[in-house]
Amino acid sequence: MIFRPARRFTKMSLKAFHLIFVTLLTALAFGCAAWAFQSGSVLWGATAIVAGIFVILYGIYFLKKLKKISYL
Amino acid sequence: MEIPYTVQARPDTGLYNAKLGIWLFLASEVMLFGGLFSAYVLLRVGAEPGMWPHGWLNVTLGTVNTLLLALSAITTLLAWAACKVRDFTKFKIFHACTILLALTFLGIKSYEYHDKLIHYEIKLNNGTFADGHLVEKSADFDLAKKTGTVTLHGHIVTDEKELMDLRSPEAQAAKHEEVIVAATDIKSMGNYGPRHNTFTAIYFTLTGLHALHILGGTLVIFYFWAFGGAMWKTDPERFTNRIEVSGLFWHFVDLVWIFLFPVLYLT
């Protein structure tokens, strides 16, 4: 029987899981902003948008920083 | 006898043992929390109109806890990255931060629980409701014997529905002051614990289970932080894998909170 290596996505590492986490955190931040604006809280909404942008910037930084570490 | 595939990936699965194990475990966890989220949805859509609470939880504290867990996810990743580049000192620093962040999260959660457990709703004999935080019970207070008084910091409403939406303009405008209720006037009373209604039941179940996961993860991380040095010296690759596995669990717990926070605090 010949064993074939499993496909890449099945070997999900902490790096890949962290990327999913950052993506969902970004969605949460912008979702909170929408909720805050709908509730009439402009300050909370603006803070959530800034937080969302910060998370995106962090995601880019993280990908650059851990470039040498494999997804596997 | 040496156990195979503790460091190298098994050819057929492409994973080392612990990683396969943690993903199977996380799959079971998805089913556990998925079932409870389904229960939440069913309880909510099945609630009588106007009887599902809104604004009962402190959004500021929930936001702070979200930030703490997000930061702890980052420190977990950095601790693993430090192991990858063979820097044990940085690993210790980052995981010390993870532990502190997790303990702060649990402290805030405990405060929120305490706040709910000292919040009382009292149904009075005249059909109105006294609602607020417990200030004191008189020394002779006994609900069964109908003796003594109980003092709340809150207000009295005529309809229980008025207590459901605390974001409504009426609720925001309500004046809270000390309310003294005699035991003889009380029909029933109870705090905002899990027994109060279906919302508090599912709230305590979901967040309690989540907090237990945080506690368990913290204990595991603390074990690696405090006693990991021996394995680090003999088998750093295997130790790094253990840190990755604990990090995967931690990220899962953080992801659960990312769903819990908007569902419980913002809706």
Q: Inspect the interface and report whether the beta carbons of B251 and A17 lie closer than 8 Å.
A: yes
Residues B158, B171: one domain? yes
Residues B149, B223: one domain? no
Residue A41, in any domain of the structure: yes
Annotate B12-29 with b (16+ C-beta within 10 A) or e (fewer). ebbbbbbbbebbeebeeb
Q: Is the pLDDT of residue A10 over 50?
A: no
B249, closest residue in chain A (CA to CA): A14
A66, closest residue in chain B (CA to CA): B81
Substitution target from B30, B165, B258 for chain A, most A beta carbons within 10 A: B258
Residue B20, in any domain of the structure: no
Whether A31 contacts chain B with CB within 8 A: yes
Residues B31, B156: one domain? no
Nearest to B51 by CA among B162, B128, B125, B174: B162
B254, closest residue in chain A (CA to CA): A21
Per residue in B6-19, pLDDT tens? 888 888 888 888 99
Q: Inspect the interface and report whether the beta carbons of A25 and B266 lie closer than 8 Å.
A: no
Residue B14, in any domain of the structure: no
Residues B204, B180: one domain? no
Residues B184, B83: one domain? no
Cα separation, B157 vs B159, whole angstroms: 6
Residues B176, B214: one domain? no
Total structural domains in chain B? Answer: 2
Q: Which helix (H) or strand (E) holds B128?
A: none
Nearest to B249 by CA among B102, B138, B44: B102
Residue B7, in any domain of the structure: no
pLDDT (average), residues B47-67: 94
More confident residue, B100 or A68: B100
Cα separation, B190 vs B129, whole angstroms: 11
> In the prediction, which pLDDT does B15 show?
86
Query: CB-based burial of residue B101 (10 Å sphere; 0-12 exposed, 13-18 middle, 19+ buried)?
Result: buried
pLDDT (average), residues B200-210: 97
Per residue in B154-201, pLDDT tens? 999 999 989 999 988 888 888 999 999 999 999 999 999 999 999 999
Cα separation, B208 vs B148, whole angstroms: 34
Domain that holds residue A35: 27-65
Which CATH number does the domain housing residue B89 bear? 1.20.120.80
> In the prediction, which pLDDT does A2 show?
52
Per residue in A11-69, pLDDT tens? 678 999 999 999 999 999 999 999 999 988 999 999 999 999 999 999 999 888 877 77
Residue A22, in any domain of the structure: no
3-state secondary structure of A16: helix
> In the prediction, which pLDDT does A71 show?
60
Nearest Cα of chain A lies from the Cα of B11 at a distance, in angstroms, of 6
Domain that holds residue B210: 25-41+55-116+197-266
> Across chain B, where does the E strand assignment appear?
119-124, 129-137, 149-157, 177-182, 186-191
Task: Enumerate the residues of chain B whose CB falls inside 8 A of the CB of residue A5.
Answer: 11, 14
Could you tell me if B154 and B134 are in contact, meaning their C-beta atoms sit under 8 angstroms apart?
A: no
Residue B13, in any domain of the structure: no
> In the prediction, which pLDDT does A68 show?
72
User: Least CB-CB distance to A69: which of B11, B81, B266?
Assistant: B81
Per residue in B19-50, pLDDT tens? 999 999 999 999 999 999 999 999 999 999 98
Q: Which residues partner with B137 through β-bridges?
A: B150
Residues in chain B: 267
3-state secondary structure of B58: coil
Residues B156, B168: one domain? yes
Residue A16, in any domain of the structure: no
Residue A2, in any domain of the structure: no
Nearest Cα of chain A lies from the Cα of B142 at a distance, in angstroms, of 43
Nearest Cα of chain A lies from the Cα of B32 at a distance, in angstroms, of 20
Task: Enumerate the residues of chain B whose CB falls inside 8 A of the CB of residue A69.
Answer: 81, 84
Residues B219, B242: one domain? yes
Q: Are strands B186-191 and B119-124 parallel, antiparallel or unpaired?
A: antiparallel
Residues B167, B232: one domain? no
Residue B66, in any domain of the structure: yes
Total structural domains in chain A? Answer: 1
Residues B85, B32: one domain? yes
Q: Is the pLDDT of residue B239 over 70?
A: yes
> In the prediction, which pLDDT does B37 show?
97
Per the structure block, which two tokens stand in for A20? 């999913």
More confident residue, B2 or B263: B263
> In the prediction, which pLDDT does B56 show?
95
User: Least CB-CB distance to B11: which of A5, A39, A72?
Assistant: A5
Query: How confident is the prediction for chain B on average, in pLDDT?
Result: 94
